A and B are shown apart, each in its own frame.
Chain A
Amino acid sequence: MPSVTSSVENSVTDASRRDFLKGSIAGALVIGISLSTGTRHALASAQSAAFTPNAFLRISEDNVITVISGTVEMGQGVLTAIPMLVAEELDADWSRIRFEQAPTAAVYNNPAFGMQATGGSTTVRAFWAPMRKAGATARHMLVAAAAQQWQVPVSSLTTANGFVVASDGRKASYGSLVALAAQQPVPTDPALKDPKDFKILGKALKRLDTPAKTNGSAKFGLDAPKLPGMVVAVMARAPLPGAKPRSVDSAKALAVKGVVQVLTIPNGIAVLATGYWAAKTGRDQLVIDWDMGEHAGLSSEKISELLEAKAQMAQTAGVVALETGDIANASGKNLEATYQAPYLAHATMEPLNCTAWLKPDSLELWTGTQGQGPLQNILSSITKVAPENIKINVFLLGGGFGRRIAPDFAIDATVLSMVSGKPVKLIFSREDDMAAGFYRPASVTRLSASLDAQGRPVKLNVGVGTPSIAVASGFIPLPPSGLDGQAMEGIADHPYDIPNQRIAYGRAEPGPQVWFWRSVGHSQNIFFMESFMDELAHAAGQDPYHYRHGLLGHQPRYKAVLEAAAEKAGWGKPLPKGVFRGIAVGQSFGSYVAEVAEVSVDAEGQPKVHRVVAAVDCGMTVNPEIIRRQIEGAIVYGLSAALYGRISYKDGRVEQGNFNDYPVLRMNAMPKVEVHILPSTEAPGGIGEPGLPPLAPALANAIYAATGKRVRQLPIDPNLLKKA
């Protein structure tokens, strides 16, 4: 997703001043703020939003405060973080806070994107100011109501824990004031607290969604209600973009008991049945001859060749992302390396699914999506149903990691409902989820450096060969230069003092559909850069921690997390026999993370990670426990990728299909994880993604320390690490 700039918050604050809405509905004080990015388009939607019943919080007479979240819950904790932001400024009683997932409406647009979408680790960054303002506004009006009721000056009143308190000790609960509060004028600019007065923000409060997630009552997209006449669809999806069925023999599928219909739609062939089992059994009986078009015979070898050629080209003729000094004038001891990272599937725990019901003038969806805003427009253009008549019921997401911002599964469910005339619940089999996925791009990157007599790098020349997610997504136009910022993030913005550099992009498009994957370009590029830095340190004969530290002169936040991770991990102190450390650091989505991995490698070359110590500077915090869990979760996700993750191609087909051939980390390989959060008064950074990028290089650098063998290709191949 596009990166968020600090100007987002300012424009949000201005817009919210203009677009404040209020109203009293059924004994509840409803406070809402229209958010916009300040562009003409966004202003228009903000105005139309005034006609929709929209709100961010609702206070009812029984003192229950319901906070409504425009971004969706996929594990990252927004259904707790958003209420915390509101509750802080409202001086609410936390035990009376409830959450609600917002409907689809422009009023809930994510200020970072100007549309209703969740991604790019933006929720806290983008909603930090507007949600606090929503709470402060409500508090202001409740105080004004109490002042009117008691005929005392506003200045004599305070608030605490869900009550307005008078100087003489009288108290009124917020619930008792709702009717009067709704009649008060709306403040244009209610004061926000000084962060040092925060009582809720920065506290490790329990997640609000935990109880439902431990008793089976939490509802995910797959748990959408049974609709009258509904059929379940399982598809055989096109193996690669552009592939078309030359012929389909559906006779055997139709013979399966429960199968109702077989339909060919643009993205594949669907078997519609009375339930999943019949649909899946029917799908497995389809005989399809695919015309693979230009991708016939695609293989991982061909992909690597293409990417490598582009990386090589980029070192001399690519699109320049960063240039300093003159690499032609620098010389010294030369090092060169070629690194490679594979395509990766998201493999969310909940397979993709969507239930769609198209009626003559309306469309209703039940699904877990990261992008309900764009989806409404896309589906409107397909079905010709007006966007306001498209209702999207957003459920909890059983993992997102970027995959669920894609519209494909919702489009297919809608098209199937359109063609069949029935409500359709489309469920991806795990195999289709895996093998017809939207993947983290593969990348080949070549790095060359020269070291001076002291071992300091005086030259760095990098060529990155990788596809463009921006182009594949259709969300983000490339500039005329053709530079894809996300293809270069994590490497073109590396923090080290190097006088002469040229870092350039060579776009390669081998064919597979590429997509945003947890931490996006940082996921490969920080692996390349931080591994290569380790190579430079060793070539210079220096300790990898001290070497990095000496090159971070202008980067206090990088330096601080690097120091903290090294100190907490006991860098330089003895370890049990056979265990070695590696270190890496990175910044992404506005947060700085350094990680130290403690690793041993057995005689078969199998690495085992014993402990990972992370230090994080993510600015001011909302909920430190959720932050620690997100960092730990990103470490696990990164570890799965580094140790096992690979989508490979043979004869135009993906070779993986389920968790047997696309393994992920399990309990028996789980390391201890320690996460240390550095105190900070900086603006909040993102937290869902930044823990991931430093993991792979910290692990690979520890493997080098253990074996003397440099991992330049992911996933790690134990065969290359075996003792000779």
Chain B
Amino acid sequence: MIRFNLNGQSVSIDADPDMPLLWALREDLELTGTKFGCGAALCGACTVHLDGKAIRSCSTPLSLVEGKHVTTIEAVSAERVGAAVQAAWVAHDVPQCGYCQSGQIMSAVALLAQKPKPTDADIDSAMSGNICRCGTYNQIRAAIKDAATTLSGGAR
């Protein structure tokens, strides 16, 4: 039995401790907002927060999650940074197919939580693990800067 806190609620699941968190979320807990893209920590589609840090859930075994806090896209708007990022994503109409966007948003929220005023280089290094095959990178960058402005109290 592995217990952890998921989006503010404690959950326990009976699964192979080697199984990646991604599949526990998607299949056992039926939270499908977190996506599968590569299964090898190469694309970022599966990004969630583990104790506030962005991690690739496809390559994080359940055993490492025991007793920790996991936040997924479904709950990210519950706190201030997440809400601002999501609003900026909507304002910039970022998504195309949308499949990568849960992961993009989770990476962006983790970045802004750590660096409220990221430079372009900060954005490059925090976001280059997240692939978007539809090519929305420039809109993602603009939305991150916009959210940073909102969060620092400036007008959008």
The answer on a CB contact under 8 Å between A397 and B36 is: no
Q: 0/1 per residue, B20-55, Cβ < 8 Å to A?
A: 100100111011111111111011010000000000
The answer on a CB contact under 8 Å between A633 and B30 is: no
Q: 0/1 per residue, B92-122, Cβ < 8 Å to A?
A: 0111111111100100000000000000000
Q: A349-B37, A396-B97, A429-B39 are in contact. Are A214 and B135 (CB under 8 A)?
A: no
The answer on a CB contact under 8 Å between B98 and A398 is: yes
Q: State whether the Cβ of A698 lies closer than 8 Å to any Cβ in chain B.
A: no
The answer on a CB contact under 8 Å between B98 and A222 is: no
Q: State whether the Cβ of A660 lies closer than 8 Å to any Cβ in chain B.
A: yes
Q: How far is the CB of A608 from chain B (nearest CB, A)?
A: 13
A residues less than 8 Å from B31 (CB atoms): 216
Q: State whether the Cβ of B149 lies closer than 8 Å to any Cβ in chain A.
A: no
Q: A217-B33, A349-B45 are in contact. Are A670 and B138 (CB under 8 A)?
A: yes
**CA–CA, A347 and B96, complex, Å:** 16
Q: State whether the Cβ of B6 lies closer than 8 Å to any Cβ in chain A.
A: no
Q: How far is the CB of A209 from chain B (nearest CB, A)?
A: 7
Q: How far is the CB of B7 from chain A (nearest CB, A)?
A: 11
Q: State whether the Cβ of A348 lies closer than 8 Å to any Cβ in chain B.
A: yes
The answer on a CB contact under 8 Å between B99 and A668 is: no
Which residue of chain B has the shortest Cβ distance to A631 in the bound complex? Answer: B135
The answer on a CB contact under 8 Å between B20 and A277 is: yes
The answer on a CB contact under 8 Å between A350 and B99 is: yes
The answer on a CB contact under 8 Å between A659 and B42 is: yes
- Contact among B37, B45, B131, B136 with A666 in the assembled complex (CB-CB below 8 Å): B131
Task: Identify which of residues 119-139 in chain B touch chain A, using a CB-to-CB cut-off of 8 Å.
Answer: 123-125, 127-139
The answer on a CB contact under 8 Å between A396 and B98 is: yes
B residues less than 8 Å from A630 (CB atoms): 96
The answer on a CB contact under 8 Å between B138 and A430 is: no
Q: 0/1 per residue, A296-321, Cβ < 8 Å to B?
A: 00000000000000000000000000
A residues less than 8 Å from B102 (CB atoms): 216
Q: 0/1 per residue, A656-676, Cβ < 8 Å to B?
A: 001110001111101011000
Q: A350-B37, A429-B39, A636-B135 are in contact. Are A668 and B94 (CB under 8 A)?
A: no
A residues less than 8 Å from B89 (CB atoms): 210, 214
B residues less than 8 Å from A255 (CB atoms): none
A residues less than 8 Å from B98 (CB atoms): 75, 209, 212-213, 218, 220, 396, 398
**CA–CA, A204 and B48, complex, Å:** 32
Which residue of chain B has the shortest Cβ distance to A400 in the bound complex? Answer: B97
**CA–CA, A491 and B154, complex, Å:** 52
Q: A349-B131, A429-B39, A659-B43 are in contact. Are A633 and B90 (CB under 8 A)?
A: no
Q: How far is the CB of A10 from chain B (nearest CB, A)?
A: 32
Which residue of chain B has the shortest Cβ distance to A630 in the bound complex? Answer: B96
Q: Could you pull out 15 A-B pairs where Cβ atoms are within 8 angstroms? A: A214-B90, A214-B95, A215-B77, A216-B31, A218-B98, A226-B30, A232-B27, A348-B99, A430-B39, A632-B135, A632-B138, A637-B133, A658-B40, A670-B137, A673-B138
Chain B positions near chain A (C-beta within 8 angstroms): 16, 19-20, 23, 26-28, 30-40, 42-43, 45, 72-74, 77, 86, 89-90, 93-102, 105, 123-125, 127-141
Q: Given contacts A207-B95, A220-B98, A280-B39, could you give 12 more A-B pairs where the C-beta distance is less than 8 Å?
A: A209-B95, A216-B72, A216-B74, A275-B28, A349-B37, A349-B43, A350-B97, A351-B37, A399-B97, A625-B93, A633-B135, A660-B40
